[in-house]
Amino acid sequence: MELQLWLSFLLLHVIHDVQSSSPRGQWTANVPTKIPALHGSCVVIPCTYTYPKPTSKKILNRWRGFWRNGNKIVSTNLPKWKLPQEYKKRTQFWGKLQSRNCTMLLDGVRTTDVGPFYFRIEMPQYKSFSYTQNAVSIDVIR
């Protein structure tokens, strides 16, 4: 697993097709558009996000993050969330949402794990947003 993780990080440095970053005043997720991954390996989807500055003075102290594939939630920062069987124990939410990091790990890559995957943020004291325009596809290599 450690070698697979290292290879995933190495592949990410080779990928230059990363969606451009935006000013902090917009809803934007910075993710690669496509990531190559060997069948059976693990893949890290690096992700940072931005959102418009809230106009109210409410303190944001709760964040819920979800990685989705269509209507399926494949990963979340909520530990008690029931994931679909096909993703159970294969995904880990690595990002710290307070730091605008939404990175996810997908282990045991399957030929069906092509995506597109997108991130959704929910801030109960503010707003929620699905970054469907900033989706990631996985090119599964056999």
Element (H, E) at 28: strand 28-30
Q: CA–CA distance from 59 to each of 74, 96, 97, 128 (Å)?
A: 28, 17, 14, 15
pLDDT 10s digits, 4-15: 444 444 344 333
Specify the residue for token string 């995506």. 115
**pLDDT at position 135:** 97
pLDDT 10s digits, 88-100: 999 999 999 999 9
DSSP string, 86-141: TTTTTEEE---GGGTB--EEE-S--TTTT--EEEEEE-TTS-EEE-TTS-BEEEEE
Q: Extract the residue ranges of the chain whose pLDDT is less than 70.
A: 1-24
